Structure 1
Amino acid sequence: MTHPVIAGVDDPAGAGDAVDWAADEAQLRGVRLHLVHAWLWEPHQAPESLDAQLLRRSGGEALAALAERAASRHPDLEVSSGVVDASPREALVALSAAAGLLIVGSRGSGGFPGLLVGSTSLHVAAHAACPVVVFRGPGGQFEAASGSRGGVAVGVHGREPCDGLLSFAFETAQRRQLPLRVVHAWSYPLVLGPGHAFPPVYEEGHVAAEENRLLSEVLSGWREKYPEVPVTEGIVRSGPAKHLVELSQTHQLVVVGRHGEPQGPFRRLGSVSQAIVHHAHCPVAVIPVE
Structure 2
Amino acid sequence: MRLPQTVVGTDGSPPAAVAVEHAAREAACRGTRLRIVHSVDWVPPPGIATALDEAGRRALRESGEHVLSESEARARSVAPDIDVRTTLAKGDPRPVLAELSREALMTVVGSSGSSGITSGLLGSVSRHLTTRAEGPVLVVRETPTPGGPVVVGVDGSSPAEAATAFAFAEAAACGGPLVALHAWSEWSVPPVPPPDPTLRYAKAPGELQAGEERLLAELLSGWSERCPDVAVERRAVRERPRQALIAASRTARLLVVGSRGEGGFAGLRLGSVSIAVLHHAHCPVAVVRGRENGSQ
Match status 1:26 vs 2:27? yes
Q: Which of 164, 167, 176 in structure 2 is aligned with 1:166?
A: 164
Following the alignment from structure 2 to structure 1, what is the Cα–Cα distance between the partners of residues 221 and 190?
A: 29
Distance change (3 Å), C-alpha of 1:262 and 1:114: closer
Following the alignment from structure 2 to structure 1, what is the Cα–Cα distance between the partners of residues 228 and 162?
A: 18
Worse overlay, 151-160 or 252-261? 151-160
Following the alignment from structure 1 to structure 2, what is the Cα–Cα distance between the partners of residues 248 and 186?
A: 18
Following the alignment from structure 2 to structure 1, what is the Cα–Cα distance between the partners of residues 121 and 157?
A: 31
Distance change (3 Å), C-alpha of 1:169 and 1:13: closer
Q: Please list the CA deviations of residues 153-204 of structure 1 after superposition, one character each: whole Å capped at 9, or x if unmatched.
A: 000103656432211111111222211111111232467xxxxxxxx64445
Give yes or no for contact 2:10–2:17 (8 Å, CA) kept in 1. no
Q: CA RMSD, aligned part only? A: 2.5
Q: Please list the CA deviations of residues 231-255 of structure 1 after superposition, one character each: whole Å capped at 9, or x if unmatched.
A: 1111122221111111111111000
Q: Which of 97, 100, 105 in structure 2 is aligned with 1:95?
A: 100
**What TM-score results when the alignment is normalised by the length of structure 1?**
0.85
Give yes or no for contact 2:159–2:258 (8 Å, CA) kept in 1. no
**1:55 alignment partner in structure 2:** 60
Q: Please list the CA deviations of residues 6-28 of structure 1 after superposition, one character each: whole Å capped at 9, or x if unmatched.
A: 00113356533221111111111
Following the alignment from structure 1 to structure 2, what is the Cα–Cα distance between the partners of residues 29 and 179?
A: 16
**2:194 alignment partner in structure 1:** none
Q: Which runs of 5+ in 1 are unaligned?
A: 192-199
Residue identity matched to 1:8: G
Give yes or no for contact 2:39–2:64 (8 Å, CA) kept in 1. no
SS of equivalent to 1:220: coil
SS of equivalent to 2:275: helix
**Any residues of structure 2 matched to 1:47-196 within 5 Å, and which?**
48-107=53-112, 111=116, 115-137=120-142, 140-141=143-144, 143=146, 145=147, 150-158=148-156, 160=158, 162-187=160-185, 188=187, 189=189
Percent sequence identity over aligned pairs: 40
Number of matched pairs = 275
Distance change (3 Å), C-alpha of 1:205 and 1:164: same
**1:281 alignment partner in structure 2:** 282
Following the alignment from structure 2 to structure 1, what is the Cα–Cα distance between the partners of residues 271 and 14?
A: 32
Following the alignment from structure 1 to structure 2, what is the Cα–Cα distance between the partners of residues 60 and 89?
A: 19
Q: Please list the CA deviations of residues 31-85 of structure 1 after superposition, one character each: whole Å capped at 9, or x if unmatched.
A: 1100001221246277944234212311221211211232343333110112111
Following the alignment from structure 1 to structure 2, what is the Cα–Cα distance between the partners of residues 179 and 238?
A: 22
Following the alignment from structure 2 to structure 1, what is the Cα–Cα distance between the partners of residues 284 and 206?
A: 34
Following the alignment from structure 2 to structure 1, what is the Cα–Cα distance between the partners of residues 256 and 138?
A: 9
Computing the radius of gyration from Cα coordinates, the structure with the larger value is 2
**1:195 alignment partner in structure 2:** none
Distance change (3 Å), C-alpha of 1:165 and 1:204: farther
Give yes or no for contact 1:258–1:273 (8 Å, CA) kept in 2. yes
SS of equivalent to 1:55: helix
Residue identity matched to 2:111: S
SS of equivalent to 1:266: helix
Following the alignment from structure 1 to structure 2, what is the Cα–Cα distance between the partners of residues 253 and 206?
A: 32
Residue identity matched to 1:278: H
Residue identity matched to 2:95: E
Give yes or no for contact 1:154–1:182 (8 Å, CA) kept in 2. yes
Distance change (3 Å), C-alpha of 1:142 and 1:206: closer
Worse overlay, 250-259 or 51-60? 51-60
Displacement of 1:279 after TM fit?
A: 0.6
**1:4 alignment partner in structure 2:** 5
